[in-house]
């Protein structure tokens, strides 16, 4: 068996097109969706990612406001920036790019964001609502994007065994919560494995759908993949490659060539999960703007 590729670029472009139509409709009603992005310090990878988000916002008709404080900002000053964005009616979504410099408290910053503007889906209120199955919860962009990849590829998840390798608060844990929900693209039986899991290969081979987010290049080899499994590779790792013009190449957490021979569907790296993260962030921002407009409309006095 050889796998079919899941084209994250194409599916993300589809979602961004839908987001653009919704943003245009809001703009016609006098509300332009706005995203405030806070990038502390000059981490090169984060700078590239923020530029990509800003460009994607502009293409979708979303106002992007980049705030770039220096790496020596105090906790109090960073919280004041978040407070200002919370109070700004033109900003519907807030994203504080992580990781923050070590002298700053990420948890306190994340919890300071208004849950109604938490388009990254990391506030405890949204995490709790998601666990309870509330449709009002903003879901973290990467796991939400993975679910969309699976749904839009036409893969049935109901009753199937999903194995997730990785237990981070950004991907693994929220992914497990999403796949357990009583909804389309979920209703799965879920196992979460991690670096301390004994006999990891035995566990991963149980997965009819295998989602890997561990940050270790090609950790999951072909023999660890169940025949006919759907493989979703979240990892993006840079490895040395003297034969490449750049001196390196990007690989996932799954040994792609080996898994390709066993899987039914597989995401490439790059071009799989990555484009979905920004697309879902834009989708959450437009949703936040739509909710804000409804809230304003509901508080207007009737003219009858």
CATH number of the domain within which 76 lies = 3.40.50.10860
Distance CA 249, CA 195 (A): 25
Distance CA 23, CA 39 (A): 24
Does 109 share its domain with 152? no
pLDDT at 42: 80
pLDDT at 303: 53
Asked if 272 and 9 touch (Cβ cutoff 8 Å), the reply is no
Find the angle CA(44)-CA(74)-CA(170) to the nearest 5 degrees. Answer: 50
Q: Please state, as a whole number, how many other Cβ atoms lie within 10 Å of the Cβ of residue 125.
A: 17
Structural tokens at position 106 = 């990420």
Q: Does any domain span residue 301?
A: no
Asked if 69 and 77 touch (Cβ cutoff 8 Å), the reply is yes
Domain residue limits at 206: 141-274
CATH number of the domain within which 236 lies = 3.40.50.720
Q: Does any domain span residue 130?
A: no
Does 101 share its domain with 176? no
Distance CA 38, CA 35 (A): 10
Asked if 162 and 191 touch (Cβ cutoff 8 Å), the reply is yes
Does 163 share its domain with 95? no
Q: Please state, as a whole number, how many other Cβ atoms lie within 10 Å of the Cβ of residue 168.
A: 15
Does 166 share its domain with 68? no
Does 174 share its domain with 226? yes
Does 169 share its domain with 237? yes
Q: Does any domain span residue 259?
A: yes
pLDDT at 50: 86
Q: Does any domain span residue 254?
A: yes
Last residue of a domain, one of 115, 150, 167: 115
Does 158 share its domain with 83? no
pLDDT by position in tens, the chain (length 304) = 789 999 999 999 999 999 999 999 999 999 999 999 999 998 787 888 888 999 999 999 999 999 999 999 999 999 999 999 999 999 999 999 988 999 999 999 999 999 999 999 999 999 999 999 999 999 999 999 999 999 999 999 999 999 999 999 999 999 999 999 999 999 999 999 998 999 999 999 999 999 999 999 999 999 999 999 999 999 999 999 999 888 999 999 999 999 999 999 999 999 999 999 999 999 999 999 999 999 877 776 655 4
* SS3 category, 186: coil
Structural tokens at position 108 = 């306190």
For residues 273, 115, 125, 234, the Cα torsion angle rounded to the nearest 10 degrees is 10
pLDDT at 302: 54
pLDDT at 274: 94
Does 86 share its domain with 171? no
* SS3 category, 276: helix
Q: Does any domain span residue 123?
A: no
In eight-state DSSP terms, residue 254 is: B
Q: Does any domain span residue 16?
A: no
Q: Please state, as a whole number, how many other Cβ atoms lie within 10 Å of the Cβ of residue 1.
A: 10
Asked if 295 and 89 touch (Cβ cutoff 8 Å), the reply is no
Q: Does any domain span residue 25?
A: no
Catalytic residue positions, numbered: 53, 97, 120
Q: Does any domain span residue 294?
A: no
Does 111 share its domain with 235? no
Residue found under tokens 């957490």 = 253
Does 159 share its domain with 88? no
Does 150 share its domain with 59? no
Does 187 share its domain with 244? yes
Look at residues 159, 157, 280, 134 and name the one whose alpha carbon lies nearest to residue 211: 157
pLDDT at 96: 96
Whether the model pTM is above 0.85: yes
Domains identified in the chain, total number? 2
């Amino acid at each position: 068996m050889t796998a079919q590729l899941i084209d994250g670029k194409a599916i993300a472009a589809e979602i961004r097109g839908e987001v653009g139509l919704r943003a245009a409709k809001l703009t016609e009603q006098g509300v332009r969706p706005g995203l405030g992005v806070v990038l502390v310090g000059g981490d090169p990878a984060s700078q590239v990612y923020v530029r990509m988000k800003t460009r994607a916002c502009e293409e979708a008709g979303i106002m992007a406001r980049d705030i770039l404080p220096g790496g020596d900002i105090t906790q109090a000053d960073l919280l004041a920036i978040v407070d200002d964005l919370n109070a700004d009616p033109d900003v519907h979504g807030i994203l504080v790019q992580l990781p923050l410099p070590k002298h700053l408290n990420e948890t306190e910053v994340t919890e300071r964001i208004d849950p109604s503007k938490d388009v990254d889906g990391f506030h405890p209120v949204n995490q709790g609502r998601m666990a309870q199955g509330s449709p009002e919860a903003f879901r973290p962009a990467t796991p939400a994007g993975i679910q969309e990849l699976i749904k839009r590829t036409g893969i049935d998840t109901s009753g199937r065994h999903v194995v997730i390798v990785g237990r981070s608060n950004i991907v693994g844990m929220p992914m497990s919560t999403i796949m357990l929900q009583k909804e389309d693209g979920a209703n799965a039986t879920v196992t979460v494995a991690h670096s301390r899991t004994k006999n990891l290969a035995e566990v991963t081979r149980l997965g009819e759908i295998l989602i890997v987010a561990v940050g270790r290049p090609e950790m999951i080899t072909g023999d660890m993949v169940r025949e006919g499994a759907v493989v979703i590779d979240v990892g993006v790792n840079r490895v040395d490659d003297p034969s490449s013009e750049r001196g390196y190449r990007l690989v996932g957490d799954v040994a792609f060539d080996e898994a390709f021979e066993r899987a039914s569907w597989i995401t490439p790296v790059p071009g799989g999960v990555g484009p979905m993260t920004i697309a879902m962030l834009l989708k959450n921002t437009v949703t936040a703007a739509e909710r804000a407009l409804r809230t304003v409309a509901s508080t207007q006095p009737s003219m009858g």
